[in-house]
Structure 1
Amino acid sequence: MSEMQALSRRGLARRLTVQALYQWLINESTPAALLRQFREQEEGLGRADPLYFEELLTGVVTHASALTVDLVPHLDRPLEQLDPVEHAILLLGAYELRHKPEVPWKVVVNEAVNLAKIFGAEEGYKFVNGVLDKLARQLRAHEI
């Protein structure tokens, strides 16, 4: 498998993770129920990397409290006022910045911005970019 195919499979896994995290934030579904639901959908996980999807979803949910602590100092509004889509994207980005050092910080931020352009409010990607850029400078200073 080429590097581009692997990246796109991970990109698709990120996209599904944002959708699952959105449901988790809204309905408080368990990661196990969400994994089952996404696998059982008609199209299943499609070409997405199933192991990466599972790792991201369970990792974000498991570490949500610590990720929130990482994010809050960089927010320009109270956590409760975050749009659930942007919240899900920020949690995913924070997880990858903290727990996936093999993924370059620019890739993490770029993927999050692209997800915000797809799923978020009109200008939401700018907010996501600003928050994750600040967090990357904090968590990945050695890389930047």
Structure 2
Amino acid sequence: MTEATPTPGTTDAGQKPAAGTRKSSAKPARSRSREFALQALYQHLVGRNEAADIDVFTRDLSGFHKADSAHYDALLYGCVEQAQALDALIAPKLDRSFAEISPVERAIMWIGVYEMQHCLDVPWRVVLNECIELAKDFGGTDGHKYVNAVLNGLAPELRSAEVQADRQSGRAK
């Protein structure tokens, strides 16, 4: 599968935000869906709430109408349903137990692994960048570095051909 690799500053679709727009106001719908999915997954991890209950609450939050609701649905329900499988992929890349991982960072890693496995229309580098940005915005100090290390370590397993093509072209290490 050959996919175009976006350049820095582009959206999932490879489009540049309109000139003069601020990053926060021009946030793509998929980026917003990841933020809402992160909030929902946090509620699932910390509050042990059911996905359907969290979903009802999340859809009522301010700004949800600007999110890609189908992508949000895929992330929320997919990550909850596949939590054990996602953890099984993530665990070998960790240097500590899940109990020592922030629930925010765990949810971000779930999102990243889920997208790398199931959202093949999103280039792996975009998935990685989006997850790093989520960790910078919502995670602890330097949490983005941990998320980056784990997801970057999983990318060659989950998107081998795409990562190899990027490495051969010099776009990835």
Bin for the TM-score computed over the shorter chain: over 0.9
Q: Give the alignment of 1:1-144 within 5 angstroms.
A: 3=13, 4=15, 8-41=28-61, 43=62, 45-144=64-163
| 1:38 and 1:44 in contact (8 A); partners too | no
- RMSD, aligned α-carbons: 1.6
Aligned-pair identity (%) = 40
Q: Quick check: which one's helix share is greater? A: 1
d(CA) in 2 for partners of 1:88, 1:119: 11
d(CA) in 1 for partners of 2:65, 2:139: 22
SS of residue paired to 2:113: helix
**Count of aligned residue pairs for this structure pair:** 141
Q: Which AA in structure 2 matches 1:12? A: R
Deviations along 1:54-86, whole A, 9 cap, x unmatched?
111001001111010010011111111101110
- Normalised by the length of structure 2, the TM-score is 0.77
Q: Which has the larger radius of gyration?
A: 2
- Normalised by the length of structure 1, the TM-score is 0.92
Query: Once the 2 structures are TM-superposed, how far is the Cα of residue 40 of structure 1 from its aligned partner?
Result: 2.4
d(CA) in 2 for partners of 1:104, 1:88: 20
Query: Once the 2 structures are TM-superposed, how far is the Cα of residue 46 of structure 1 from its aligned partner?
Result: 3.3
Query: Once the 2 structures are TM-superposed, how far is the Cα of residue 48 of structure 1 from its aligned partner?
Result: 0.7
Q: Which AA in structure 2 matches 1:10? A: R
d(CA) in 1 for partners of 2:98, 2:110: 12
